[in-house]
Structure 1
Amino acid sequence: MLLTGGLKSLLPHVLRRIIRCNRLTISNTSGMAEGYKQANVVILHKSLADDFEKFCYANDGPLPLLHRSQPGDWKCPSLSNDSDIRTDCLQYRKYEHGACTGSLKSLKEYSEQLKDMVTFYLGCSFSFEKAVQKAGIPIRNVEQKCNVSMYKTSVPCYSVSMFHCNLVVTMRPIPESKLEAAVLATCELKEAHGAPIHIGDPGLLGIQDLSKPDYGDPVHLHPDDIPVFWACGVTGVEAIINCSAPLAFTHSPGCMFITDLKNDNVRSLGGVPQVHCISQDPLHFSIVSAEAAQKIKTLETLIGIDPGERGVVHLRRRGELLRACLALSHAGSVLITTGFPTHCAHEPPEENDGPPGALAIAAMLQALEKQVAIVTDQRAMDLNKKIMEEAVQLGILKKPIPLLSYQRQNADSALMFLCENGNPGRPRFDHLIAIERAGMAADGNYYNARKVNIKHLVDPIDELFLAAQTIPGVTTTGVGDGGNELGMGKVKDAVKKHIKNGDVIACDVEADFTVVAGVSNWGGYAIACALSVLRSCEIHDRYLRRAVGFPRAPGQRLWLPALPSVTKTMPRKHNF
């Protein structure tokens, strides 16, 4: 019997010959034949082959198709010069009517049945391990001499006929300082699953316990490691189980077919990826192309112009617009608030900075098929209802947005408002946005720019943002242009130093992301535009959909009409 030492440097045809002779004591092929492609294997009856091929194309992240054989063809000259799929995997699994009925070292005894069966060879993440190591990144499962960890997720694949299942992923611990290098090393290796589909907390994929993988072995994380997840070809095994075919075979997870093909980079059309942290609790990173990120940073610079020369430039924090919009892009349900009473002798007292920007954000979120609601002061409900009706009539909004109000009844009011039955594990909203919304100062009052206390005109919506800080998975954004707006607590020191009356008016309530603009409406328009940029980014779109399903074709970008324009954003005089 041969041990693992030196196997990684052996040529594929030599390894296949050794495997064929059953002379290895290893349990998986991770780390073997460095630089060569390895393949997952699915073998099923020819009557199912066309639908399974469509299933692969519909979910090419987990199931990149390298080759489909003819019925009864157990050789594969396009992938290897001398191979026999009946013998050249370390171990196989047999499935009957969806149940695994055995593990096999060879399929030769089923040669007669195989004459009516088709073999699918699907890309494998073991193929990119050498590229990751060349980038200076450790492969922990290879270090620990074990199989990679594989997990079933709660992410549904795109279904085709009788083929349906949830995505299966591999997890590799990556040092936080090496995250972007790991994405760069794998993004162009599309036949080896390409870039990761999730970076951060496994719970966001529905994985409850990393120490209990569904396939493979548990892999120990080092203190500075982040769990990084790639789409996995074992997704095909789950599809075979769910389709309940009378007879099917697969490789045993981790026991791949080793091809003669070297890894070749397929140039990414989406550009160079960047990695950005968008949440600490739960820990969550997102991916975007450098080109899209630069567009959003340019937007941030444009809205930072200070037409009134009030010192706004000193409040700006670079990159906040990008991170806020990445978080919003991942959100499914968003709550928006606006309203800043400044004309205290008028009825209504609102200024017209804020509502147009809020509508621009809401319109884009609607177009992106996210749930969105607006919370405002009880005294301003009628005004906002009229604004909403007109926005629908003008085509700015596709349909009315729910209007909510918030009043403090007891210590749990904010939690009850934000979560089902006040349960932090079941939030109603993933993200809260305040745009040009009066924010509470350190003394508990609310001030306009002239130091006039307007607390009597403001409902305590700040409490929602304070409560959101205690709810895992809920992030917040504050948009402002003077430092006294809700969410500007993150820059309160700069407000006190550089803004007139800042020592009194500075908002004390922080948001996770602070978008500073010369005019708050500009911040709202920039958020709407940035969300469009992100959704048009191939790299980000793939990450959002976890590499399952089909990307949107350019002609299907139905959110583009929701972009703000001069005619949409000009306020109607009779409404303000």
Structure 2
Amino acid sequence: MVAAVDPEQHCCKCDEQNEDMMTVQRLRSLFPGAIRGLIRCNKLNARNTSGMAEGYKQANVVMLHISLAEEFEKFCRANSGPLPLLYRSKPGEWGCPPLSTAADIRADCLEYRRFENGVFTGTLSSLEKYSEQLQDMVAFYLGCSFSFERAAQEAGVPVRNVEQKCNVSMYKTSVPCFEVGRFSCPLVVTMRPIPGDKLDAVVQATHPMKDVHGAPVHLGSPSYLGIRDLSSPDYGDPVRFHPGDVPVFWACGVTGVEAVGSCRSPLAFTHSPGCMFITDLKNEKAALGDPEESPQVFCISHNPLHYSVASAKAVGKIQALEKLIGADPGDRGIRHLFVKDELLKASLSMSHAKSVLITTGFPTHFNQEPPEENDGPPGAFAMAAMLQALGKEVTIVTDKRALGLNRKIIEDTTKQGVLQTPVPLASYQGEDADSALKFLCQDGNPQAPRFEHLVAIERAGMAADGNYYNARKVNIKHLVDPIDRLFLTARTVPGVATTGIGDGGNELGMGKVKEAVKQHIAGGEVIACDVEADFAITAGVSNWGGYAVACALYILNTCDVHERYLRKAVGFPRLSEAGAWAAALPSVKKEEQLLSILVSHKVRSGKTGSLAMEVDGLPFYDTHSAMIEKLLELTR
């Protein structure tokens, strides 16, 4: 057993303090030892330690029987975002030498929680009467988000809970932690309202501070975390929002309090949420490290509000992909349709989606059978292959008359190894919003969407007059099912995003840039698609846009910053799967095989109607093959 520290130590400091409640400003400037002394003597009239001993680290505390210590340490290592382990004590050790001098964990927290057989049985101001039981217990000290509040303020970010002199808001989420032995629980998060123009600043300020939770795990609507009401936190206090504030969530050490309930130990203790142990360690300004790994924030949805995060390096690569596919080999004026970062935002949104619906098919050759062109399907299959590799559900919806053709193409594509598994096919002929809602959502319930992202690539889009036109202004409505209705209805379903990929402005989803199409594309006043998608990706050839999405998804999921954000900092990185993701990338060989399959099914080049190895009148070799190689070079 390690010798106990005298709990009366530092009491002389208490005598020097006014017994009335200390002002917040004075508590900020006091040294940790002085505050711990006040707490031991019960002379600190406060409800939480937020803002105290400014500049010093604070810690969550969990105390368990020695028989559970190994399992709990593994649980912490497996969920390092919410449970960054600062120190594990020896059995019966009241102090924590690496973190502070002359500490006594039995009396140095404002308030403790007692658990018996996993059940919370009350709060305590001291654990001294449990000294005998504590001889066989181990204390775990875990990083706390109070520790990064000063760094946020120095970055110009207001911290509302400090301003309002209240505890931070804490919530249980629907996100499960990685289970280890007897420990399993949901992730707990803290929430701070952050001005919308300070999101990059707060993410970048907290990102390097891994030992106190690091960067946020979610920015935006609490619904993505299963939180229903921000005004009713599970722990702490409600914090008032200012106009323009966005809810920002960090993994929280109170996850450890929840974990204690799961192990059903006969006796366990934790700090009370917000009543932290204040260490003697200063919050040294964390090294920013490689600037290319600095996180950047992007809004990917307004209904509900949702932001995503990726490293500067990943963002730069995807922006380079976007620039590359924007080449205009036919000199048709598509550069005027370009909207910056649409590839990035669409790919971020798809990276978060669990299920994706893809549609393609432009029956431009109305006098041929089949009338389809070969721009679209290769890009669609490239996206499908990567989405499948990432573990997402993928479905293709097409015209009813083309189901048989697409089924044969998918069979051949799978046999050739372009797709690892067949993609399910569907058709849609409904004309009204109700039928579209029933197709998109289980039982037509907008709260239960079947698909979280819809992608149209080189899909005939409805013009303002209700017709569908090819580039020559020929109406092909008789060959096109009203799949546009799914995109129109999707915009009314919260949490469902849409992307359109096109190269001329008459494709589904390109309604977002229809004014530019009318002004800069030949025949644009007639052919311009009127149906808008959330994201409109412009490419010299639509297939290139599909290839770029597949590459962008690979870049994002091999980005440490984005991958951590996706899994909410619980569990382990998925980077061991990167080999399978790389195998799903488009390649010259795979796209050559796919184009050969399309030619075998008499699917023709869009511009010339030729059954040669070309797309949009451009030869596969030295044009499309070169584009694929350049995309892969940027990606890897």
TM norm. shorter chain > 0.5: yes
Which one-letter code corresponds to 1:3 in the other structure? Answer: M
Query: SS state of the match for residue 569, structure 1?
Result: helix
The answer for the alignment partner of 1:306 in structure 2 is 328
Separation in structure 2 between the aligned mates of residue 268 and residue 412 of structure 1, nearest angstrom? 52
TM-score by length of structure 1 reads 0.99
Q: Is the 8 A contact 1:481 1:516 kept in 2?
A: yes
Partner of 2:611 in structure 1? none
2:40 to 6, 9, 20: 20
* CA distance in structure 1 between the partners assigned to 2:532 and 2:122 by the alignment: 57
1:258 aligns with 2:284: no
2:304 is matched with: 282
Residues 285-320 of structure 1: CA deviation (Å, up to 9, x unaligned)? 001101100100000000000000000111011110
**SS of residue matched to 2:580:** coil
Say whether 1:569 aligns with 2:591: yes
Does the 8 Å CA contact 2:433/2:489 hold for their aligned counterparts?
no
What secondary structure does 1:238 align onto? helix
Counterpart of 1:134 in structure 2 is 154
Q: Structure 2 matches for 1:157-556, cutoff 5 A?
A: 157-264=177-284, 265=286, 267=288, 271-408=293-430, 410-553=432-575, 556=578
Residues 65-118 of structure 1 deviation map (CA, whole Å, 9 limit, x = unaligned) = 000011111111100011000010011010001111111111110000000000
In 1, the alpha carbon distance for the partners of 2:483 and 2:191 equals 40
Task: Write the mapping of 1:78-89 to structure 2, written as runs, cut at 5 A.
Answer: 78-89=98-109
Given the alignment, which residue of 93, 97, 117 partners 1:97?
117
Report if aligned partners of 1:189, 1:263 keep a CA contact under 8 Å in 2.
no
Shift of 1:409: 5.7
SS in 2 for 1:151: strand
**Contact 1:488–1:509 (8 Å) recurs in 2:** yes
Q: What residue is the counterpart of 1:43 in the other structure?
A: 63
Cα pair distance change 1:19/1:267, threshold 3 Å: same
The verdict on how the C-alpha distance between 1:461 and 1:279 changes in structure 2, with shifts beyond 3 A counting, is: same
Q: Tell me, in whole angstroms, the C-alpha distance in 1 between the residues paired with 2:488 and 2:211.
A: 46
Equivalent position of 2:633 in the other structure = none
Any gaps of 5 or more consecutive residues in structure 1?
Answer: none
Shift of the alpha carbon at 1:558?
2.2
Counterpart contact for 1:3–1:26, Cα < 8 Å = yes
AA aligned opposite 1:140: R
For structure 2, which runs of at least 5 residues remain unmatched after alignment?
Answer: 1-18, 604-636
Question: How far apart, CA to CA, are the structure 1 residues paired with 2:399 and 2:21?
Answer: 72
Distance 1:234 1:121 in 2: 12
Deviation of residue 3 (structure 1)?
2.0
Task: Tell me the TM-score normalized by structure 2.
Answer: 0.90
Change in 2 beyond 3 A, CA 1:228/1:304: same
The alignment status of 1:120 with 2:140, answered yes or no, reads: yes
Distance 1:410 1:180 in 2: 42
**In the TM superposition, what is the alpha-carbon distance from 1:388 to its structure 2 partner?**
0.6
Question: Aligned pair in 2 of structure 1 residues 553, 495: CA closer, same or farther (>3 Å)?
Answer: closer
Query: How many Å separate the matches in 1 of 2:155 and 2:102?
Result: 32
The Cα of 1:552 is off from its aligned counterpart by 2.5
Does the CA contact (< 8 Å) of 1:89 and 1:255 recur in 2?
yes
The question of 1:151 aligning with 2:171 is answered yes
SS in 2 for 1:558: helix
> Deviation at 1:4?
3.5
Asked if 2 retains the 8 angstrom alpha-carbon contact of 1:200 and 1:228, the reply is yes
Amino acid at match of 2:336: H
Q: For 2:506, what is the secondary structure of its paired residue?
A: coil
State the shift of 1:386 in Å: 1.1
Runs of 4 or more consecutive aligned structure 1 residues displaced over 3 Å after TM superposition: 266-270, 553-557
The separation in 1 between residues aligned to 2:577 and 2:424, in whole angstroms, is: 30
| CA displacement at 1:120 relative to structure 2 | 0.1
Residues 463 and 531, structure 2, Cα contact 8 Å, conserved in 1: yes
Separation (CA, whole Å) in 2 of partners of 1:203 and 1:66: 31
In the TM superposition, what whole-angstrom CA distance separates every residue of 1:237-288 from its partner, at most 9, and x where no partner exists? Answer: 0000111111000000000000011123155567101000000000000011
Q: Which amino acid aligns with 1:36?
A: Y
Distance in structure 2 (CA, Å) of the matches to 1:35 and 1:536: 34
Q: How far apart, in 2, do the equivalents of 1:411 and 1:474 lie? A: 15
2:488 counterpart SS class: helix
CA distance in 2 between counterparts of 1:67 and 1:362 reads: 46
Cα distance between partner residues in 2 of 1:551 and 1:300: 27
Local SS of the residue matching 2:132: helix
Contact 2:433/2:485 (8 A) holds in 1:
no
8 Å Cα contact 2:385/2:584 also seen in 1:
yes
Alpha-carbon distance in 2 for matches of 1:336, 1:40: 46
| Residue 411 (structure 1) shift | 4.4
Residues 341, 351 of structure 1: 8 Å contact kept: yes
Structure 1 position 554, deviation (Å): 5.0
Partners in 1 of 2:149 and 2:111 — Cα distance? 21
Seq. identity, %: 67
Q: What is the DSSP-based 3-state SS (H/G/I as helix, E as strand, rest coil) of the residue aligned with 1:412?
A: helix
Deviations 1:92-150 (A, max 9, x none): 01000111111111111000000000000000000001001111111111111111000
Structure with greater Cα Rg: 2
Question: Structure 1, residues 356-389: CA drift from partner, whole Å, max 9, x if none?
Answer: 0000000000000000100000111111101111
Which residue of the other structure, out of 61, 67, 80, is the alignment partner of 1:60? 80
Judged with a 3 Å threshold, the aligned counterparts in structure 2 of structure 1 residues 557 and 123 are, in CA distance, closer, same or farther, namely farther
Match of 2:622 in 1: none
